[in-house]
Amino acid sequence: MNVVQVQFSIDDRARGDEIASELLNGSLVACVQTVGPVTSRYWWQGSVNEAQEWLFVCKTTRERCAEVFDLVRLRHPYDVPEIVEHELSASEPYAAWVATETRRPRLGAGDG
């Protein structure tokens, strides 16, 4: 099973944390790391913009990757959110852990 890293950036840390929690509670990812704030410079609608954002780095499997993309896309406020994936070379124990943690939904996760 392949380990995949999916990352997304967002200018609202609380909203990013909500997305991360939903990914974790649904067992779509094994872990999420938050980096930032970072400065993003980008073209948007004909001009260069700058924003302070947070980068959320998620570890999952190839099999769950499309679901991760779908959830982030659905919950993200941007018109064109940055959602990218990278195939990872991981140690066998780490890859097995990611596979185990993303295999099934957790009953009662997030229930208080």
CA distance to 1, 36, 60, 85, per residue, from 40 (Å):
33, 11, 25, 18
Determine the topology of domain 3-101 in CATH: Alpha-Beta Plaits (3.30.70)
User: 62-75 and 13-25 helices cross at what angle (nearest 10)?
Assistant: 140
> From the CB of residue 103, how many other CB atoms can be counted at a distance below 10 Å?
13
pLDDT score recorded for residue 109: 52
Burial class (CB in 10 A: 0-12, 13-18, 19+), 86: exposed
In order along its 112 residues, the chain shows pLDDT tens digits of 589 999 999 999 999 999 999 999 999 999 999 999 999 999 999 999 999 999 999 999 999 999 999 999 999 999 999 999 999 999 999 999 999 999 976 655 554 4
Where are the domains positioned within the chain?
A: 3-101
Distance CA 22, CA 25 (A): 5
Distance CA 101, CA 42 (A): 35
pLDDT score recorded for residue 105: 67
